[in-house]
Protein backbone atom coordinates (compact mmCIF):
# COMPACT_ATOMS: atom_id res chain seq x y z
CA UNK A 1 0.00 0.00 0.00
CA UNK A 2 1.37 3.41 -0.88
CA UNK A 3 2.00 6.11 1.69
CA UNK A 4 -0.80 8.23 0.21
CA UNK A 5 -3.28 5.34 0.54
CA UNK A 6 -2.22 4.82 4.13
CA UNK A 7 -2.75 8.50 4.89
CA UNK A 8 -6.21 8.67 3.36
CA UNK A 9 -7.40 5.29 4.62
CA UNK A 10 -10.88 4.21 3.60
CA UNK A 11 -12.34 7.70 3.69
CA UNK A 12 -14.04 7.41 7.07
CA UNK A 13 -11.76 10.01 8.60
CA UNK A 14 -12.34 12.65 5.95
CA UNK A 15 -16.13 12.33 5.66
CA UNK A 16 -16.15 10.76 2.21
CA UNK A 17 -18.21 7.79 3.45
CA UNK A 18 -21.02 10.14 4.48
CA UNK A 19 -20.77 12.05 1.21
CA UNK A 20 -20.89 8.84 -0.78
CA UNK A 21 -23.91 7.65 1.20
CA UNK A 22 -25.74 10.93 0.48
CA UNK A 23 -25.01 10.62 -3.25
CA UNK A 24 -26.07 6.97 -3.35
CA UNK A 25 -29.33 7.70 -1.52
CA UNK A 26 -30.08 10.60 -3.89
CA UNK A 27 -29.42 8.37 -6.91
CA UNK A 28 -31.60 5.59 -5.48
CA UNK A 29 -34.43 8.05 -4.82
CA UNK A 30 -34.24 9.29 -8.41
CA UNK A 31 -34.24 5.73 -9.73
CA UNK A 32 -37.17 4.80 -7.50
CA UNK A 33 -39.21 7.76 -8.71
CA UNK A 34 -38.42 6.99 -12.35
CA UNK A 35 -39.39 3.34 -11.99
CA UNK A 36 -42.57 4.20 -10.08
CA UNK A 37 -43.61 6.76 -12.70
CA UNK A 38 -42.90 4.25 -15.45
CA UNK A 39 -45.05 1.65 -13.72
CA UNK A 40 -48.01 4.02 -13.66
CA UNK A 41 -47.37 5.16 -17.24
CA UNK A 42 -47.35 1.55 -18.41
CA UNK A 43 -50.31 0.45 -16.30
CA UNK A 44 -52.77 0.49 -19.19
CA UNK A 45 -50.41 -0.79 -21.87
CA UNK A 46 -48.06 -3.34 -20.31
CA UNK A 47 -48.90 -6.71 -18.85
CA UNK A 48 -49.95 -6.69 -15.20
CA UNK A 49 -46.88 -8.77 -14.32
CA UNK A 50 -44.54 -6.10 -15.66
CA UNK A 51 -46.31 -3.35 -13.74
CA UNK A 52 -46.33 -5.49 -10.60
CA UNK A 53 -42.60 -6.16 -10.95
CA UNK A 54 -41.87 -2.45 -11.35
CA UNK A 55 -43.89 -1.63 -8.25
CA UNK A 56 -42.08 -4.38 -6.33
CA UNK A 57 -38.70 -2.99 -7.44
CA UNK A 58 -39.79 0.47 -6.30
CA UNK A 59 -40.75 -0.90 -2.88
CA UNK A 60 -37.40 -2.68 -2.57
CA UNK A 61 -35.53 0.50 -3.47
CA UNK A 62 -37.55 2.50 -0.95
CA UNK A 63 -36.69 -0.01 1.80
CA UNK A 64 -33.02 0.24 0.86
CA UNK A 65 -33.24 4.05 0.89
CA UNK A 66 -34.81 3.97 4.35
CA UNK A 67 -32.05 1.69 5.65
CA UNK A 68 -29.28 3.81 4.17
CA UNK A 69 -30.88 7.02 5.45
CA UNK A 70 -30.72 5.87 9.07
CA UNK A 71 -27.63 6.86 11.02
CA UNK A 72 -25.24 3.94 10.90
CA UNK A 73 -27.43 2.17 8.33
CA UNK A 74 -25.79 -0.40 6.10
State the SS3 of 22-39.
Answer: HHHHHHHHHHHHHHHHHH
Give the C-alpha distances (Å, rounded to integers) separating 6 from 2, 12, 25. 6, 12, 28
Q: Pick the more confident residue, 16 or 53.
A: 53
pLDDT at site 5: 47
In a domain, 20, yes or no: yes
Residue at 1 is within a domain: no
Q: Is 50 among the domain residues?
A: yes
Is the confidence at residue 12, as pLDDT, over 70? Answer: no
- Range(s) of the domain holding residue 58: 14-69
Is pTM beyond 0.75? Reply is no
| 74 assigned to some structural domain | no
Express as a percent the part of the chain with pLDDT over 70. Answer: 76
What pLDDT, in 10s, does the model give residues 15-46? 678 899 999 999 999 999 999 999 999 998 99
- More confident: 2 or 45: 45
Amino acid sequence: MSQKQEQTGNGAGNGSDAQTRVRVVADLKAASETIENSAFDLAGDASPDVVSDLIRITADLQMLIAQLSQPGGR
